[in-house]
Structure 1
């Protein structure tokens, strides 16, 4: 990223600086007033702003204060420039968050050094913010079953290497947690962990998500940045987790293969390649060897990624881990919803062990959260509090009768579960859910209130 905004009311200075910085490879935009500069900053992302302290419509230091208070994930570094530099002004600018202070007439050598250092400072600040965000997200591999003990041992053995990892497992088994655990045990643990779900990105955008773009080669539109760092570049020095890698197109696979081989790539619209040091951990819920046979996945990329294979077992193959997982989720959601002392009865846990869990650990986690939300006054979750779907695998006619004391309780539980399912399908939109259920919107609201269902549209 090397986009500079020059804000100065003197046209000669703007033109001179613009020509020099463009020759140095920077992308440059200019503004003659504070108002124009603030509008540009709201519409696009800049790395460094060279800001004159004397502007015709507003004081430069006041403008600096506004820039530093902008609600944006990409706040630029600001370098103040002035023809009337004083120690007092320099101190005030620093207190307001300016990176540095340059006096006119500008020294070309010093300007380029300060600009280069400001670029590095802004990049470091962004990386530190990303790293701090990740500190609260830990890769916890929960379970005392034989498969999970073996998996933790494999992580401990393989994590300190730089070998690429390919994680196989059904959806919802926790492949991302395995990737995070690998990163946290690795020699790169003090650097960033960047993740990209390849199945969630449209084909037209996957290349720019992976490799970024330069000089406005990305999507156009209000608020769209003129440049973007891709996940490979953001993960430099750290770990890149490519989830659902089997959903990449063959065209994208070829570019990823080259980036892995050369540890460099060419962002869209760039004239020079970017060199990176990245450890790639990939994950898939597909049988990639079968995909290779069908012509959907490159064999050479498979062998590049599959240096260290990991297999995450489905929850139905390690049901003895369910009590530990439930305890972990109860603690997590109990703290989140202000109910830290939650527990689940043995009968309820036994019922959970009878269920097949097609959605794996993710489904169990969602179920625990749902039960907590729907039973706000309960400290101990009993079998009767579990949703109806848990009992469908039992195959016993008496199973449903044992679940509830009365027919009314059974009917309400079924209605509650069915309404939640329909709301999930409609992404929480009550109007659409009501239409799908064949109810008036007001009737559905009354029904939700009576059943203890609360959803924000």
Structure 2
């Protein structure tokens, strides 16, 4: 009786020590201390091995911790439920099991008895792991000794140890889940901050509103058809076209019609960053990677993970930036500046340029392998001169937009002015048309909008006034030299030009020696 009492007191001291140990134990140290607890349990009972089995995420119970005396195998890679189905079923009912031999098992435990005879141990104590009314696994303690354990009455006390270890595992799981959730919240917070910052930059760089995709021309309908064809894929798109045609708008339309539209599309202006800064801008950097890197920064590729990344003016990329972009397109991963750890991303690439990349490639300014990576689905945005019939609808859309932003009430556009706009070549394309309408809106005071010819006509007038100034200058020289062209006292010497050159210019400007306009041919 005294031995049993002493053994009981020893067990309670052990259980108390373990409970105190696990109370404030960090989650990262729980596994090591559980193995230590299994060791103490084995030595306390005089057994040979203890195994802790947990219910895995897929519902299958798998051994996660094991300790055995020297010479006894450590088992962690086996499924307890498949090898001992009867004992496991009893454990699921939160009942303890004490097995003194395979022969002591009931007839419906044939598989369990077979496993015990073949692999042992012949004596086994099984305890359910109960925490907060949940069964999270079990502990098995076995011995290969032929003598029965002398203390079967300890079976009533052992569940206390199972509860202590179950609570430790549950606390570890909750702490790790909380840490992972906190890390995910921190990651998403950093991602949203970086994305918000980049989107504000992108918003400030947008020149063309969504109204520019209006029109009924064949050229625009062909463009819209191509956008719809490629939008719902993950294919890389190369958008070609002159300055001001709306290549950025095409990129945003492709993104908004794709499966990635829940995330905002990010943009990078390849001409807006020095080659030395482009790598950090695209791939980010670690703290201390270079002078001024006071904290880790997420690059645009990392922020755009799961979304689309638009490379505007991709033809302006330096040779080193082209090589790094090619690697990301090939491997879908990169390293931050100052780090060797690869970052995997899922980013769709949209690129635009007003350059002829095939010519740039032939002349060695653009990588051939990068060109073919980008040129999966090329789209050419038509210039405005090829869709002049869309001008009335576009002007109407611009006026509606500017009415709101300027607080005006323009209801009609002068029809004669619209006809004049059809005669202009529009070298600046849609962007230039919008600027012309905006300038007219600023000057407008009534409900009918008058649109003057673009500034290009004013530049032609400036060229004409320069010719007129040259004419007046030559006439002044001829008057001072009494119409003499060559010689020491001639106008050519006064103007410091060759006499033949002066005569040629006089002929071009229709000036006679007397300083009068020559009569027109045939007059």
Q: 2:324 aligns with which of 250, 255, 269?
A: 255
Moved more, 282-291 or 342-351: 342-351
What's the CA shift for 1:378? 2.9
Do the aligned residues in 2 keep the contact of 1:160 with 1:185 (CA within 8 Å)? yes
Could you tell me which residue of structure 2 aligns to residue 164 of structure 1? 236
Instruction: Kindly provide the CA deviation profile for residues 206-226 of structure 1, in whole angstroms up to 9, marking residues without a partner as x.
Output: 111111111232551xxx752
Change (3 A) 1:182 1:209: same
C-alpha offsets along residues 102-136 of structure 1, whole Å, 9 cap, x if unaligned? xxxxx985874464143134146447857997999
Please give the alpha-carbon distance, in whole angstroms, between the structure 2 residues aligned to 1:330 and 1:127: 35
* Structure 1 counterpart of 2:219: 147
The one of 369, 373, 385 aligned to 1:300? 369
What secondary structure does 2:310 align onto? strand
Equivalenced residues, count = 286
CA contact (8 A) 2:212 2:394 kept: no
Shift of residue 179 of structure 1?
Answer: 0.3
In the alignment, structure 1 residue 234 sits paired with structure 2 residue 306 = no
Contact preservation (8 Å) 1:155, 1:181: yes
1:327/1:191 Cα in 2 relative to 1: closer, same or farther (>3 Å)?
same
Change (3 A) 1:342 1:198: farther
Contact 2:198–2:266 at 8 Å: present in 1 too? no
Distance 1:170 1:219, change over 3 A: farther
Instruction: Provide closer, same or farther for how the CA distance between residues 204 and 124 of structure 1 changes in structure 2, counting only shifts above 3 A.
Output: closer
Of residues 284, 294, 298, the one that matches 1:212 is 284
1:122 lines up with 2:162 in the alignment? no
Describe the SS at the equivalent of 2:298: coil
User: Cα RMSD between the aligned structures?
Assistant: 3.1
What is the aligned partner in structure 2 of residue 179 from structure 1? 251
Match of 2:424 among 338, 355, 360: 355
User: What is the match of residue 289 of structure 1?
Assistant: 358
What is the CA-CA distance between 1:267 and the residue it aligns to? 1.1
Q: Secondary structure at the match of 1:204?
A: helix
Q: 2:408 aligns with which of 330, 336, 339?
A: 339
Structure 2 gaps, min length 5: 1-25, 27-173, 465-523
Q: Distance in 2 between matches of 1:149 and 1:110?
A: 52
Tell me how far apart the structure 1 counterparts of residues 181 and 226 of structure 2 sit (CA, whole Å): 47
User: How far apart in 1 are the matches of 2:227 and 2:182?
Assistant: 42
Match of 2:449 in 1: 381
Q: Which residue of 2 aligns with 1:270?
A: 339
State how far apart, in whole Å, the 1-side matches of 2:187 and 2:211 are.
30
Structure 2 match to 1:189: 261
Larger RCO of the pair (alpha carbons < 8 Å, separation 6+): 1
Q: Flag structure 1 segments of 5+ consecutive residues without an equivalent.
A: 1-16, 18-106, 398-457
Q: Is the 8 A contact 1:355 1:391 kept in 2?
A: no
Q: Which moved more, 1:114-123 or 1:339-348?
A: 114-123
Which structure would you say has the larger Rg?
A: 2
Q: Is the 8 A contact 1:195 1:240 kept in 2?
A: yes
Deviation at 1:182, TM superposition (A): 0.4
